[in-house]
Amino acid sequence: MKDPKGEAARWLAQAEYDLRAAQTNADNALYSYACFIAQQAAEKAFKAFLYAQGARQVAGHSVGALGKQVTKVRKHFAALARRASKLDRLYIPTRYPNGLPDGIPAEEYDEQDATVALNLARQVVDAIKKELNV
């Protein structure tokens, strides 16, 4: 089994990197990618927490589902997990035209979408960092 703290640190470091990448995309008006990468940051932060608890494998990409797993261990994450689950709406349609009824992702997402996604992801990353004392 991998070292739980070491594995958590790897996932949290990637979550922080993803958060910076999402902000860079937003700053450059690449809003659909900012939204998707924000979702990725929250996903990886929740996975970091679960690895820190000793999980051997954390499967799935749903922020909502991962948040529920985290909440089973730490009840105080319930409200954040519910809010962050909205990021799941950004997993597919931000990247694939067939995830939208019309148009393309590059034209469907705007600065407000990216701002909301970044704020949610930042809340998750910051909460996990605090919980893991890093």
Distance CA 53, CA 132 (A): 10
Provide the pLDDT for residue 1. 57
Q: Tens digit of pLDDT for each residue in 115-132?
A: 999 999 999 999 999 999
Handedness of CA 9, 11, 16, 17 (dihedral sign): positive
**Structural domains in the chain plus CATH codes:** 4-131 (1.20.120.330)
Query: Mind listing the pLDDT tens digit of every residue in the chain (134 residues)?
Result: 589 999 999 999 999 999 999 999 999 999 999 999 999 999 999 999 999 999 999 999 999 999 999 999 999 999 999 999 999 999 999 999 999 999 999 999 999 999 999 999 999 999 999 999 98
